[in-house]
Chain A
């Protein structure tokens, strides 16, 4: 079997990227009609949709918390999203990712404003190309903002890793499968804190530090892209505001 080289003699990766280069990333906000908030991300060949419903009444009632909103998060991959068809039933991996994604987004949400309510986040991976949980978080954070849910700040996600001994940013599918390590990170740049941090593979302490710094830096850049996507969607709002003002009590006749 032919050995697949992940880095060529110039240190460029299989898709032509430099070690610290991000794959092309596109963000769009508010693409769904029924959801309270939504966003779509294309990152590399990843195509991921995130939608938010809420805050809404807690159903069933017993899951509600008396002093804050409950966050529900579902990360799910469509059967046609991967090379081999994936069964639609939630896998253990999807259950684990639903948990870590929820734990990455929760710190940013001011859930104490909506006691006894739920905020539901749905992430559907339509096409997977490594780094789905990070891209999912990036989109979900925008969907939360689009839904008008009060947040401290947006959360951006990006993975770093190691390929043929070199620390690289934003692994592709091939690099994730054949590389030495994968380090997904979700980061809030304003507060300088990490919401998601996982790793599998093999790295020295120094390599880990390098990879973490690389991923955090990329998250800062993605955060700016998120802000730009919100601006794109909402820049017309100012004109609308010119026409409205304090609503007088409407006159009612029967």
Chain B
């Protein structure tokens, strides 16, 4: 069951401060309404994983790891590898995160990031087939939220993408339906690079990359994931408020142009 969240632990006066500043076209940390916070991406920090990435977006910190294992394909896609995306909202990341099974927020985040990767066909799953119908490679993307200061979806999306583009696996031959690994390593077969851009509506203003304080006063948010060809591949509205069709269209436009910058930042890290 989904239920209305408890009120944010911020006084009405403090909320008013944020709303008023944004109404004037400014932000608490003096960014522009369309600016992202300082972004640091580090790839390959977990050597034991096939791929990994650490993203610091302002004070939000996310780590994503990619593990490639062998498994059985789904019945209706016998020639394709399998993608699974999971997210953990680790209790240390926020006073509001509790230990236990994934709650609706972490499930939503994982599924939105998953949609971006899957619908953009970022991974060429057909190249991950070992023995059709019997054995394929499974790509596990696990996202760990370590510090929550807002805009977890975008940070998580970038961490997942960073981990995937820098992931390495051994080249392999297939003998008797099983993989025989060679010494040479290769990257995952990547064809596309989805980027999630989350726009947040606060009363009548629309800002990008909300900090936690800004999220706590938001009306609602709209995440738009686009690929390298400016196609929209995923969208998710969140929050208790509403937005007009025109605002939705405007946000899609913004997301397409904004994502180019972030995409090239990630890809430039891969050597």
Contacts and interface: CB of A to CB of B under 8 A. Distances in A.
Contacts of A194: 237, 242-245, 248
Contacts of A25: none
A192 B246 CA distance: 10
Given A202-B119, A203-B232, A208-B232, A103 B240 contact: yes
B175 interface: no
Contact of B249 (A68, A191, A212): A212
Interface in A114-165: 118
Interface string A197-229: 111111111001100110010000000000000
A72 B237 CA distance: 19
A131 to B, nearest CB: 16
Q: Bin the interface of chain B by size.
A: 35 or more
Contacts, number: 122
B32 to A, nearest CB: 23
A198 B107 contact: no
A200 B119 contact: yes
A99 interface: yes
Chain B binding surface SS class: mixed
B158 to A, nearest CB: 19
B123 to A, nearest CB: 15
Interface in B217-271: 220, 222, 227, 230-245, 248-249, 252-253, 256
B2 interface: yes
A188 B233 CA distance: 25
Contacts of B105: 99
11 contacts: A92-B107, A96-B107, A98-B2, A106-B4, A111-B4, A197-B222, A198-B235, A198-B236, A199-B232, A199-B236, A212-B245
Given A71-B4, A194-B237, 19 more contacts: A70-B3, A72-B1, A72-B4, A92-B102, A92-B110, A92-B111, A98-B104, A102-B3, A102-B4, A193-B243, A195-B237, A197-B237, A197-B248, A200-B115, A201-B119, A203-B232, A204-B231, A205-B230, A216-B245
